Amino acid sequence: QQFEEGEKLFDEIHAQRPEVTGTLDGRSFIGFGDTDSFLSCFLELIIQAHYVWVPIESLRELIIPAPKTLFDLIWLPVRINTTEGLSLVGYAPVVYPQSHVHEDERVKMGRMTAWVDLGGGFARGCGQHVYDVGEEEVGILDIREMSFTQSPVRP
């Protein structure tokens, strides 16, 4: 029953969110979110030394340069422009929280993603952040330029 109530609330939250559309590296998509249930509505970032969750529907543009250093494979430099007109530079963690305790070194290092099934359709990610971009799953290390448009209401 606890999972059923959680699923119902989760579905209500997602039903109230605007539908996010846009382009990823020139390819159109409908729908965007983190595949981790707890982060599905947010982009996890470090901006000016602060850990923040940026609501996905507030994004207008996300630019991630290709990694050039080993540091970039842990903390990926990002630039975002928001619907409110803010232009921010920061870092996105390549891996999900607690990935360092996973038994597989590839997961710890963000070279692959594993899922912890929490029941009731909920899952936590370990390893590289993965996003649902339309009908495909895309790792954060494979994203370069995204532009977003939002519908005021979900159809």
Tens digit of each residue's pLDDT (9 = 90 or more) over 90-126? 999 999 999 999 999 999 999 999 999 888 778 999 9
HEC readout, 45-68: EEECCEEEEEEHHHEEEEECCCCC
Q: Name which of 59-63, 107-111, 140-144, 151-155 the model is least confident about.
A: 151-155
- In this prediction, residue 101 carries a pLDDT of 94
Calculate mean pLDDT across residues 141-151: 91
Distance CA 82, CA 101 (A): 34
Mean pLDDT of 69-89: 96
Using an 8 Å Cβ cutoff, are 19 and 30 in contact? Answer: yes
pLDDT category, 2, cuts 50, 70, 90?
Answer: low
DSSP class of residue 18 equals P
d(CA 87, CA 61): 9
Tens digit of each residue's pLDDT (9 = 90 or more) over 11-62: 787 777 888 999 999 999 999 999 998 899 999 999 999 999 999 999 999 9
Is the pLDDT at 155 greater than 70, yes or no? no
Beta bridge partners of 30: 21
pLDDT level of residue 151 (50, 70, 90 thresholds): low
pLDDT, residue 1, reads: 59
Q: Is the pLDDT of residue 147 over 60?
A: yes
Residue 83, pLDDT > 90, answer yes
